[in-house]
């Protein structure tokens, strides 16, 4: 163990490392405490590598020069500066990735956020009368025009929309819902629990795979306040199955004078089957079928900000608007600005398809991705060979975010392999990059799916990945083939 002692003693002192040019250069911008901490951390990492080394030869490969340590400290400082919540590259091939923030916003939406957020706005002031007005007015007409509904309200998110509607129309009463439609959404939130916490009692009818109109009919009592249909947005019951279509429920509701509500989950305004995707009910469909209330998300297939949209008959929306709980669930001005701008794009379907990132990603031909993957693969290989090798794969991408569960999109990935380095480790390094690159690992290869990455991001992606691999190579060489953390 003597040789280790020797090595420990050779580690440069903090003050010595602080004098390195690279660290002196950032002295003006970064508080001294941060720099000292980073240097101490790097020394601690080196100590741990020295302890782990199994032979003198391995030790020899650990670079403990003051310059090398300063460089590592600098990288650490760069990694730790900036906000916690930050943009990432979604190279997972899951377009509406809930953990990655679901939909990126259209340029027009971002512009609206900037405009309204950086100044005062007419959020609750009528510019016509000079009197107080409602924030909800800014999007109501637009939503009605796009969907054919009589009235509309927007709240914080769709779970909130469902909660608010049930609380308003069915508190202390019964809501009839099919057993086949009791959805659990991400993060183990169960819609039935959200629903019952509104004060409504769920009366479950039918079986998981089959529910008939007579099941709803038999469940109706004097205490029934609502018939509810939930779009099973994140799973599909196939095979021996039956569900009641919206218009039949509407007829039944009319017969008994009970309103019908449909939670669509993912709200889509355009017919996706025109672009080779499976048909997903459009928001306009239940409205046209006479459904009294329809709820959906702003940040799923709509491609806007997080929001819950409630559209439908005016009598019911008036009641909902008067519920005191709209206040704790209210939408904020930045979201409202982004939502209005997103909805405006839908006034021209072709414009929406082009300008809304989610729709563009969904409908992009795979050939375009292939061309980009080939270009990126060649350029990256040039920068990182022979340490790593690049390639191209053709795995499928998914819509995600509890939308279109059966849709698999043809896609294309840039692949990466660095001999001697575990692909999981490589994925971790990319996740820690600036900006982080979130990838998939498949058969000892890292896969970077291009479907959820825009063409404009390609050069930044290339630089980020190349820089990360270069850093990793440096680490690898400085530490005798061992990688820290
Ligand atoms: C996603 C989803 C919700 C929740 O919507 P959020 O906007 O995430 O609150 C509710 N119902 C269904 C059917 C969904 O798919």
Query: Atom of ligand 1 at shortest distance to CA of 306?
Result: 7
In a domain, 54, yes or no: yes
Helix (H, G, I), strand (E, B) or coil at 129: coil
CATH number at residue 94: 3.90.1150.180
Whether 281 and 430 share a structural domain: no
CA dihedral 271, 276, 279, 281 (to 10 degrees): -30
Domain region containing 171 = 107-355
pLDDT grade for 401, boundaries at 50, 70 and 90:
confident
User: Domain for residue 484, yes or no?
Assistant: no
pTM score above 0.75: yes
How confident is the model over 371-379, as a mean pLDDT?
A: 97
Best of 100, 159, 286 for a ligand 1 pocket test (most atoms within 8 Å of beta carbon): 159
Q: What is the pLDDT confidence band of residue 40, given thresholds at 50, 70 and 90?
A: very high
> Could you tell me if 263 and 231 are in contact, meaning their C-beta atoms sit under 8 angstroms apart?
yes
Q: Is residue 427's pLDDT more than 60? A: yes
The per-residue pLDDT for 55 is 84
pLDDT in tens, 115-156: 999 999 999 999 999 999 999 999 999 999 999 999 999 999
The token pair at 141 is 């007409």
pLDDT score, position 239:
66
Average pLDDT of the residues in 190-209:
88
* Mutation probe of ligand 1 site: the residue of 233, 283, 403 with most atoms within 8 A of C-beta: 233
Same domain membership, residue 202 and residue 345: yes
Ligand 1 binding pocket, CB closer than 6 Å: 157-159, 162, 183, 185, 191, 230-231, 233-234, 263, 265-266, 297, 308, 402
Share of the chain above pLDDT 90, in %: 75
Average pLDDT over residues 233-245: 70
Distance, CA of 34 to CA of 279 (rounded, Å): 54
411 in any annotated domain: yes
Same domain, 274 and 289: yes
Q: What angle do CA 297, 315, 130 make, to 5 degrees?
A: 80
Which residue's alpha carbon is at the smallest distance from atom 2 of ligand 1? Answer: 265
Section 287-300 average pLDDT: 97
- Among residues 355, 370, 387, which one ends one of the domains? 355
pLDDT score, position 364: 94
Helix (H/G/I), strand (E/B), else coil: 242: strand
Binning pLDDT at 50, 70 and 90, where does residue 358 land? very high
Distance in Å from the first CA to the final CA of the chain: 24
Domain membership of residue 485 (yes or no) is no
Kindly report the number of other CB atoms within 10 A of residue 36's CB atom: 16
49 assigned to some structural domain: yes
Interval between CA 280 and ligand 1 midpoint (Å): 15
Q: Tell me if 6 is assigned to some domain.
A: yes
Residue 189 has pLDDT above 80, yes or no: no
Regarding whether 289 and 372 lie in a shared domain, the answer is no
Burial of 283: CB neighbours in 10 Å, binned 0-12, 13-18, 19+: buried
Instruction: Tell me the residue length of the chain.
Output: 485
Question: Which of 355, 382, 405 lies at the terminal end of a domain, its last residue?
Answer: 355
Same domain? 94 vs 75: no
Same domain, 342 and 247: yes
Q: 228: Cβ–Cβ under 8 A, 6 or more apart, which residues? A: 166, 175, 176, 177, 195, 260, 261, 262, 263
Backbone angles phi, psi at 155, to 5 degrees: -130, -170
Q: Residue 266: pLDDT above 70? A: yes
**CB count in 10 Å sphere of residue 341:** 23
Q: Cα of 66 to ligand 1 centre, how many Å?
A: 54
Asked whether residue 46 falls in the same domain as residue 72, the answer is yes
pLDDT tens figures, 104-117: 999 999 999 999 99
Q: Which atom of ligand 1 lies closest to the CA of 159?
A: 9
Q: How many domains does the chain have?
A: 3
Nearest CA to ligand 1 atom 8: 158
> 393 and 322, same structural domain?
no
Ligand 1 test: best mutation among 161, 166, 189, 191, most atoms within 8 Å of CB?
Answer: 191
Last residue of a domain, which of 313, 330, 355?
A: 355
Residues 71 and 138 placed together within one structural domain of the fold: no
In sequence order, the 6+-apart residues with CB closer than 8 A to the CB of 298 are 154, 157, 158, 267, 304, 305, 306, 307, 308, 309, 335, 339, 342
Report the pLDDT averaged over residues 246-251: 95
Do residue 338 and residue 215 come from a single domain?
A: yes
Question: Is 34 among the domain residues?
Answer: yes
Structural domain includes residue 483: no
| CATH number, residue 245 | 3.40.640.10
Smallest CA separation from ligand 1 atom 5, residue: 158
**In the prediction, which pLDDT does 238 show?**
63
- Considering the domain architecture, whether residues 382 and 423 belong to the same structural domain is answered as yes
How open is the CA angle 220-263-258, to the nearest 5 degrees?
Answer: 30
Same domain, 308 and 176: yes
DSSP 452-468: TS-GGGHHHHHHHHHHH
Residue 235 is predicted with a pLDDT of 62
């Amino acid at each position: 163990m003597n040789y280790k002692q020797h090595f420990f003693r050779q580690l440069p002192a903090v003050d010595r490392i602080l004098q390195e040019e690279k660290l002196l250069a950032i002295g003006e911008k970064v508080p001294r405490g941060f720099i000292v901490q980073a240097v101490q951390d790097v020394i601690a990492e080196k100590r741990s590598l020295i302890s782990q080394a199994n032979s003198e030869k391995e030790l020899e490969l650990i670079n403990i020069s003051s310059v090398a340590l300063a460089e590592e400290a600098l990288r650490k400082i760069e990694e730790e500066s900036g906000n916690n919540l930050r943009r990432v590259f979604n190279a997972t091939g899951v377009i509406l990735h809930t953990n990655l923030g679901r939909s990126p916003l259209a340029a027009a939406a971002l512009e609206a956020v900037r405009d309204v957020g950086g100044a005062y706005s007419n959020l609750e002031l009528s510019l016509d009368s000079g009197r107080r007005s409602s924030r909800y007015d800014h999007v109501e007409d637009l939503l009605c025009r796009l969907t054919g509904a009589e009235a509309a309200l927007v709240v914080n998110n769709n779970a909130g929309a469902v909660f608010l509607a049930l609380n308003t129309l069915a508190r202390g009463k019964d809501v009839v819902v099919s057993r086949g439609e009791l959805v659990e959404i991400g993060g183990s939130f169960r819609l039935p629990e959200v629903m019952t916490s509104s004060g409504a009692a769920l009366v479950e009818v039918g079986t998981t795979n089959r529910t008939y109109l007579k099941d709803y009919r038999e469940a109706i009592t004097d205490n029934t306040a609502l018939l509810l249909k939930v779009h099973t947005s994140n799973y599909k019951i196939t095979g021996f199955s039956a569900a009641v279509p919206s218009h039949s429920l509407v007829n039944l509701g009319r017969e008994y004078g009970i309103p019908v509500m449909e939670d669509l989950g993912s709200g889509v305004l355009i017919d996706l089957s025109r672009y080779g995707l499976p048909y997903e009910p459009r928001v306009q469909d239940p409205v046209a079928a006479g459904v009294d209330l329809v709820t959906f998300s702003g940040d799923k297939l709509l491609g806007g900000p997080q929001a819950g949209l409630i559209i439908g008959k005016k009598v019911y929306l008036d009641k909902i608007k008067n519920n005191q709980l709209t206040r704790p669930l209210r939408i904020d001005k930045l979201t409202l600005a982004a939502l209005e701008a997103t909805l405006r794009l839908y006034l021209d379907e072709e414009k929406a398809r082009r300008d809304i990132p989610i729709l563009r990603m969904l409908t992009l031909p795979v050939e375009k991705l292939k061309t980009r993957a080939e270009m990126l693969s060649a350029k990256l290989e040039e920068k990182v060979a022979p340490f790593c090798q690049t390639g191209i794969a053709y795995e499928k991408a998914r819509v995600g975010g509890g939308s279109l569960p059966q849709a698999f999109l043809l896609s294309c990935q840039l692949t990466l392999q660095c001999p001697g380095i575990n692909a999981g480790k490589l994925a971790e390094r990319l996740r820690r990059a600036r900006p982080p690159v979130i990838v998939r690992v498949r058969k000892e290869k890292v896969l970077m799916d291009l479907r959820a990455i825009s063409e404009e991001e390609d050069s930044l992606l290339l630089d980020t990945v190349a820089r990360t691999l270069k850093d990793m190579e440096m680490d690898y060489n400085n530490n005798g083939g061992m990688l820290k953390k």
